[in-house]
Chains A and B, each alone.
Chain A
Amino acid sequence: MVKEHLSTQYDADLEEIRTRMLQMGGLVEEQVSNALAGYADGNSPTLDRVKATEERVNQLEIELDDRCTHLIARRQPAAGDLRLVMAVVKSITDLERIGDEAAKIARIAKQMHERGIVHLSGFSDVRVAANLASSMLKGALDAFARMDAEAAQQIVMQDKHIDSEFRSLLRELITFMMEDPRTISTALDIVWIAKALERVGDHAKNIAEYVIYVSSGTDVRHSQGQSESTALG
């Protein structure tokens, strides 16, 4: 009787941790979309909101860390449960970093708009990279909510696209800077934003890898798909 009650409480605790982590993910998603919207239209209240949300993201990170430690200490989870807790512990670090990248984008966007944007005519803009990064983040969190290893695998593959998009943006911007030195400061700012987006994609990929780890017990980090090391079962 008592045991059954305890295990239900245990399940509820596990579920609570996952929900909190996804809630944190929701905040970070909002940060990223606000930062990008603010960059596009120069709306400074939207950009300020990114900074304001960071406080709550950090709080949630600390709270979740604490919850996970307590859960491991008190319940000593094993197998799938332990993998879930470990994945949450790692994911929140990645989420917090994504939040930092969003704040960075917001800060640069604010500076750019205050200084007045230099129009780079014919520049294809970071929109493609931005859409890719936000959709990877959303996909990774969706996969986490559903523990869908297949969807997570797709996200891991998408990281290549965002990397190549970043490289081609860089090439294009270098051409602009060589042709007209007046564009250098704007182009550099855009490089920082693109780099931040590429990092968002990397962190989203990490989260997707944890999903595969939780659902199959296979660690796919640093493996190019050929060699896979098995984790604790």
Chain B
Amino acid sequence: MHPIHLSRFWYPVAFRFAVIGFCAAMAEYIFGTPWGYLIALAGLLLLIAFHLFYLRRVETWLQRPDEGAEHPEDLPEGYGAWETVFSALRRARRREDKRRDLVAETLNRFIEASSALPDGIIILDQGDRIEWCNPSACRHFGIDLARDQGYLIANLVRQPPFTEYLVRADFREPLVLTDPTGKITLSVQMLPFQETRRIVLSRDITPFVKVETMRRDFIANVSHELRTPLTVVGGFLEQLIDQPHVPAEQRQRIENMMLDQTGRMQRLIEDLLTLSKLETQASPAREEEIPVQSLLETVASETRALSGGRHTILLDTFPVTLRGASDELRSVFSNLASNAVRYTPGGGTIRITFSPHPEGAQYSVADTGPGIAPEHLPRLTERFYRVDKSRSRETGGTGLGLAIVKHVLARHGGRLEIESEMGQGSTFRAILPAARLTVQGSH
């Protein structure tokens, strides 16, 4: 034991015994033997009472650990030997409080860190009941920790593949789980820990699945679009070989149709190349000042030629110059206009307008066609997306026009807006930013 500590404990004790001994000796000297013993006895009893009193106070303090924990200072000061006991207890208490705060803080930090994770974590107890989970897991599986703690996971996540995965208990491979509504796809992996417990990790892989599907669809679509004209050309060639003496008139018709088909393939490949060029280059290669009015007049006359007089085509524009890649922007304007011609029945009206817009200017093409159902609108700019699969290819489009429009506009800081009502017609708007515009004669 430490010498100072020793002295602080034993000196008061020795002092008290000395006082009692001295008093007893004095009493014996003055009043005689029985009085001396009596005084010694009384002194010792007093000392015992004093110690018992403090022992009781320690006991009461220990009885209420919660209140004592809140107020380590409540512990009495003590006297003599008790002072050292009390101060040691107080020190121990404070040390413990500090350690508890530290543990609580570490735990809190851990929970906060896991809440920030994009991946879901669920901790299951030995009976596969939910013990704890982070907010991502709540979102992935539609569970609420406050309400669902202690419930069996299999009762709440009921997809048969998940139940089988739980039962099979072979967790080497993650499980791909699609929500019954088909909105999210999760990669779920179970990890055993602490002998009987398990952790469920979930990761939202919806974007990857979507990209994968788009890639697969794209390849399937490209091959399909290229094969169709090839089949037609091949068929005609076979016919020409089998029947070398076709009347000149019919031969010419066949040759024209073959030319049509090769033209279609060529347009498709050109569009594909344009798209891949647009995707690989971040910004327009060569920018120039384009007089909008004359460009739109060319577009309108091309559109009239395509329509062949079946539609009324109106042009309304104002004098302005636009800075950008001229061939790209021209493809935006003519793509939107030719789409309107293709999808509007004869006799309809197509209104091509270039007008000011709060963000700069807008190029809009409004038609009086059949309109597009709302569920198709968000997908129109996808490559090869067809609203009516059976009909659109006959109209001569490649299925890539709107994808190109969207890319070009994005490169020029603009965007495409589509508005349509069934039976009323559609309006396609290309919004161009003010930074690219110069109104003629304004400076």
Contacts and interface: CB of A to CB of B under 8 A. Distances in A.
B180 A19 contact: no
A18 interface: yes
Contact of A19 (B148, B155, B182): B155
B299 to A, nearest CB: 31
A22 interface: yes
B124 to A, nearest CB: 14
Contact of A33 (B148, B152, B156, B182): B182
Tell me the dominant secondary structure on chain B's binding face. loop
Interface residues of B, number: 20
B180 A138 contact: yes
Contacts of B422: 122
Interface in B150-178: 151-152, 154-156, 158-160, 162-163
Nearest to A23: B163
Given A37-B182, A146-B148, A30 B155 contact: no
B147 A141 contact: no
Nearest to A116: B390
Given A18-B155, A145-B151, A33 B181 contact: yes
Nearest to B180: A33
Tell me the dominant secondary structure on chain A's binding face. helix
B154 A29 contact: no
Which bracket fits the contact residues of A? 20 to 34
Given A122-B422, A122-B423, A145-B151, A134 B158 contact: no
Nearest to A127: B375
Contacts of A122: 422-423
Nearest to A125: B375
Nearest to A135: B181
B156 A30 contact: no
6 contacts: A26-B158, A29-B159, A33-B182, A122-B422, A145-B151, A148-B147
Interface of A: 15, 18-19, 22-23, 25-27, 29-30, 32-33, 37, 53, 119, 121-122, 131, 134, 138, 141-142, 145-146, 148
Given A22-B158, A29-B159, A131-B181, 8 more contacts: A19-B152, A22-B154, A33-B180, A134-B180, A138-B180, A145-B152, A145-B155, A146-B156
- Cβ-closest 6 pairs across A and B: A26-B158, A145-B155, A33-B180, A22-B155, A27-B160, A26-B160
